[in-house]
Amino acid sequence: MSHTAVVILNYNGEKFLKQFLPAVISHSREAEIIVADNGSTDQSIALLEKDFPSVRIIRLDNNYGYCGGYNRALRQVQADYYVLLNSDIEVTPQWLQPMIALLDSNPSIAALQPKILSYHNRSVFEYAGAAGGLMDTLGYPFCRGRIFDYVEEDKGQYNDIRPVFWATGACLMIRSKAYHQFNGLDEDFFAHMEEIDLCWKLHRDNQQVYYCGASIVYHVGAGTLGYENPRKTYLNFRNGLALIFKHFDTAELLYKFPVRIALDWLAAFMYLLKGKTGNFTAVFQAHISFIGAIGNNQRKRRQLRNQYPHYSRVSLYTGIVIVDFFLRGKRKIGQ
C-alpha cells in the first residue's frame, strides 16, 4: 500500500488543532499525521506535545505563508502521496480511502480533492474548492457547486469522480513526485491561487487532476483571512494576473490580458461604490505589485513554455463566467 502523509500547515491555529486534529488522527489510520508549524507564537506546539504525541511536528522558524511553509515542510516528508490539509477542516470516516484508491488505480492522475462542504451549513458546498475547480476562457477560476458567492445545496449532484482543472489547496492530495517535479508551490504567490498554478503545470505535463465525490470533508473557511479582507483581495487580484501571464499562450494573452485588466478595475470601482475603500486600494496595489514583478514572471513564463509548451484544454470552460453569472443569471454548472 502506498505511504500517505497528511500534512497540516499551522500558524497560530491552536483553536483549530484542538477542535479538528482528533478526527484527523482517528479517521486517518492509513496515513502519517504531521503538523508543520509556520513559526506560531501561540500555544500550538505545547498543545501538540501534550495532547497529540503521535503527531509528528515539523518546526519552521518563521511564517513562510502557505506556499513557503509547505515547500519547506514537504522537503522533510518521505511519502508516496501528500495530503495538504487546512487546519480548519473536519474530516469524516473513510475520507482518505477513496482518494488513495483512485491514485493507486490510475497513474495518470497526479492530484485530486474530495467533496468540500461547509462546516457551518453542512448541507451546502464550501467556497474554497466545493466539487472541483474549473477555469473559464479569461482565466477566472470557479468551482462546481460554487460560482462567485453562490453556493449550491448538496443533493448528491456531484457525487461523481471526474477530471477537473484544479483541486483546492484546502484539501489537496498529490503525488509527492509530481509536487517536487515543479519544486512545489510558487512562493511568490505566498497564498491564494498557488494550487491552481501547480495544477496548471500538471496539465502542461499531461498529468490529470481529479475530483473524488466519494470522499467528504467539512471546511470552516476563511480561517486565516475573511473572504472580503483587503489582504485577500490583494493576493487574489495580484496572483490572478500572475497566473494567466505565466500560462496563457502569447496570442491569447495579447487580447485577453487587457480585458482582465479592465474587468479588475470594474471590480475595484464596484468595491468603491459599496464603500469598501480597503478593497478598492487592494486592487490598485495588486496591479502595482504585478508590474513590479513583471521581469520575474516573464522568466517563469519563458521557462514553462520551454519545458512544457502545451496544456490540455479539456477541463477549461469556453465561456466567460462573469458574463454568464452576472448578465445571464446562470448560477449552476448545469446551466
Q: And the C-alpha cell for 29?
A: 489510520
Q: How confident is the model at residue 313 (pLDDT cuts 50, 70, 90)?
A: confident
pTM: 0.94
> Which residues make beta-bridge pairs with 82?
5, 174
Strands 171-175 and 81-85: what pairing?
antiparallel
88-119 per-position pLDDT tens digit: 999 999 999 999 999 999 999 999 999 999 99
Q: Which fold has domain 4-219?
A: Spore Coat Polysaccharide Biosynthesis Protein SpsA; Chain A (3.90.550)
Domain spans, the chain: 4-219, 230-308
Query: Which pLDDT value is given to residue 153?
Result: 96
323/279 Cα distance (integer angstroms)? 22
Query: Which pLDDT value is given to residue 149?
Result: 85
Residue 315 has pLDDT above 90, yes or no: no
What is the arithmetic mean of pLDDT over 132-158? 95
Q: Are 32 and 1 in contact, with CB atoms under 8 Å apart? A: no
233-280 per-position pLDDT tens digit: 999 999 999 999 999 999 999 999 999 999 999 999 999 999 999 999
Q: CA dist 313 to 208, 230, 273, 299, Å? A: 12, 32, 37, 23
